[in-house]
């Protein structure tokens, strides 16, 4: 996904004179050719992530469309106040593109892990959040984000699904269960383990790479009303970031619809462990076996 982002951003710099890229050392070598070609629109501020976002806010005020890039923990967690003040408060936008996700950088320790990034952005105003599940989904999402001036977060990961899937913010149904079957919604790269986890279960599986704004209409349509026997529909939401990040949104979206829900994601306990992404997925119950246990127990 990172390579796909760099290629697309480089092409945007060539094609659109409004595009600017602001870096804080991360991926600077990959953007070096573009920086030589466009020295006024590819800026590396060094290891100063707060400054990176502040510069992006200034560029946006001049009419440029800045793309900000770093690890999620640096671009969101560390620079949260600048996102709040230099973008939100000033009423300007940027495209924040992160790598590292929740635990892609686990081998480097907690400093490079950001399971709470989307929850932090939920405290701000009108952010669109894209969580692609495949490298081929990245170019379309980035190009679409570059065409307007709103605030967009593009969360890249090393975890990928088997194939890219279309979607312009709508829930895409990949498997349909029987009438009244539970709905399992997989966000971004969680689709691959979800499909493996629910093999043989009577559930409907839907996918989205755009959890913000969430496809409320699509969700309500898929959940449907309670069955004639009075059984409340069951919804399982599987996200690759902090568990429960979308719980309130889910409850609001299904307001007035009796339902049961289960939110799965990265646990809130700091494990204080290094390891690889696969290790953390297993420890947080987000591998296929862990998801199978949680979903089966919830559905009874």
d(CA 270, CA 110): 9
Pairing assessment for the beta strands 203-208 and 172-175 based on DSSP bridges: antiparallel
**What mean pLDDT comes out for the span 105-114?**
96
Where b means 16+ CB within 10 Å and e means fewer, 75-107 reads bbbbbbebbeebbbeeebbbbbbbbbbbbbbbe
The answer regarding whether domain 172-299 maps to CATH 3.40.50.920 reads yes
Question: How far is Cα 281 from Cα 115, in angstroms, rounded to an integer?
Answer: 12
36-85 pLDDT, tens digit per residue, is: 999 999 999 999 999 999 999 999 999 999 999 999 999 999 999 999 99
Residue 6 has pLDDT above 80, yes or no: yes
Q: What is the distance, to the nearest Å, from the Cα of residue 86 to the centroid of all Cα atoms in its chain?
A: 22
Q: What is the mean pLDDT of residues 158-181?
A: 91
Contact 102, 115 (CB under 8 A): yes
Q: Decide: 106 and 112 in contact? Cβ < 8 Å.
A: yes
pTM of the predicted protein model: 0.96
Please, what is the Cα angle at 183 between 179 and 185, to 5 degrees? Answer: 150
Percentage of the residues of the chain whose pLDDT score is greater than 90: 95
- Both tokens of 44, joined, read 């590396």
Which regions of the chain carry the CATH code 3.40.50.920? 172-299
**In the chain, which residues fall in CATH 3.40.50.970?**
2-155
Among 265, 259, 261, residue whose Cα is nearest residue 291: 265
CA-CA distance, 112 to 48, in Å (whole number)?
15
Work out the average pLDDT over 128-140.
Answer: 97
What count of other Cβ atoms lies within 10 Å of the Cβ of residue 122? 16
What's the confidence (pLDDT) of residue 231? 77
Beta bridge partner(s), residue 172: 207
- Locus of tokens 């671009």: 75
Spell out a b/e string for 233-252, using b for 16 or more CB atoms within 10 Å of the CB, else e: bbbbbbbbbbbbbbeebbee
* Cα angle, residue 144 at apex, residues 59 and 134 outer, rounded to 5°: 115
Q: Which CATH class is domain 2-155?
A: alpha beta
Query: Which residues face 175 on adjacent strands?
Result: 205
């Amino acid at each position: 996904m990172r390579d796909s982002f760099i290629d697309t951003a480089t092409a945007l710099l060539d094609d659109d004179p409004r595009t600017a890229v602001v870096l804080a050392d991360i991926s600077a070598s990959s953007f070096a050719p573009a920086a030589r070609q466009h020295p006024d629109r590819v800026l590396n501020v060094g290891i100063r992530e707060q400054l990176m976002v502040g510069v992006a806010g200034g560029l946006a005020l001049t009419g440029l469309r800045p793309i900000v890039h770093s690890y999620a923990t640096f671009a969101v967690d560390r620079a949260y106040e600048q996102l709040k003040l230099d973008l939100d408060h000033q009423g300007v936008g940027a495209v924040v593109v992160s790598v590292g996700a929740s635990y892609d950088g686990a081998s480097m320790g907690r400093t490079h892990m950001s399971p709470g990034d989307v929850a932090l952005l939920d405290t701000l105003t009108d952010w669109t959040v894209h969580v692609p599940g495949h490298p081929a989904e990245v170019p379309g999402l980035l190009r679409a984000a570059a065409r307007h001036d709103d605030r967009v977060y593009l969360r890249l990961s090393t975890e990928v699904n088997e194939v890219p899937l279309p979607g312009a913010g709508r829930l895409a149904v990949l498997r349909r269960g029987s009438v009244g079957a539970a709905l399992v919604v997989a966000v971004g790269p969680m689709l691959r383990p979800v499909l493996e986890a629910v093999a043989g279960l009577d559930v409907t599986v839907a996918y989205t790479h755009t959890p913000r704004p969430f496809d409320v209409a699509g969700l309500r349509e898929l959940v449907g009303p309670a069955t004639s026997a009075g059984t409340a529909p069951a919804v399982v939401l599987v996200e690759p970031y902090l568990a429960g990040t979308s719980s309130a949104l889910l409850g609001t979206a299904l307001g007035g619809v009796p339902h049961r829900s289960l939110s799965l994601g990265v646990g809130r306990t700091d494990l204080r462990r290094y390891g690889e992404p696969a290790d953390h997925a297993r420890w947080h119950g987000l591998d296929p076996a862990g998801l199978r246990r949680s979903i089966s127990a919830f559905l009874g």
